[in-house]
Amino acid sequence: MEDRFLGKQVSYPQEYAPEMLVAVPRHLNREQYGLKADKLPFMGYDTWHAYELSFLTNKGLPVTGLLKIVYPATNVSIVESKSLKLYLNSFNMHRFGNTAQEGLQLVLDTIKKDLSELLECTVELGFHTHANAPVASDFNDYTTLEDDVTTDKLSFDHFNEEPNLLTAGEQSGSLKLASHLLRSNCKITNQPDWGSAYIYIKGAVLPDQQALLKYLVSIRNENHFHEEICEMIYKRLWDIFAPVELAVSCIYTRRGGIDICPVRVSHQHLLPSNLTNAALLSEKLLRQ
């Protein structure tokens, strides 16, 4: 079902089309990492920014803006991205409401209902017109690995995920590390997905920073959805270093008018509060 639209030529629907939505069960990928729904080592959210939501009022006035979608990582499924794009574009020529505000409320109520039913959870939505300045990023105090380590002296030889690269350093306590070198490929089409990884880890044993950078680079040829990459990184760090606290956020570049930003954390207080709040539009990061 996950390849119903991916990699195929599909005509854009000209009228509201909820049947375009496709759910992909999370367990299909989690099983290979020993992740079980009733015993997940994380909580978190998947945050989506859809830049192409638009519709017409009953008088033909176009209304357009950025739709922010947030739903929990503990639900049973994700929404397949191309199906969401096709679904959202089905609103483009459909008419809702006598005024922009009335139409917007009808559209948001419809999308919330459709996605919540599809994903079997409560989906939060925010609609943003960029009229207000965005709030600051949640990741301003992270050290960028490729700027902090002597990358020119390192050899990078692995481009398929290699957890054995994750060796311990001499430091204990906590680290806030980022890399903008994250790249993976779409599970179905093999198209490259570019992103940034933000990692907070606290414990008696912490990863060597050069080793962590090599590991993140080794993901370069992996074929997974964005959410799956985030959970893979989290699970490797969780298993190898047994941290007291762990948070992994992957901020991906938009493709097809949508960006996907999964977050997985060990404790509620580690959630990036701006990114996971549908009502707030965060300052854009490098890869968005």
**Positions marked catalytic:** 186, 193
Residue among 268, 250, 282 nearest 138 (CA)? 282
The alpha-carbon radius of gyration of the chain (Å, integer) is 20
- Which residues have a Cβ under 8 Å from the Cβ of 228 and sit 6 or more positions away? 29, 187
Tell me if residue 219 falls in helix, strand or coil.
helix
C-alpha pair distances (Å), 15 with each of 21, 22, 90, 115, 258: 14, 17, 5, 17, 20
Rounded Cα–Cα distance for residues 42 and 35 (Å): 10
Rounded Cα–Cα distance for residues 267 and 245 (Å): 7
CB 284 within 8 A of CB 259: no
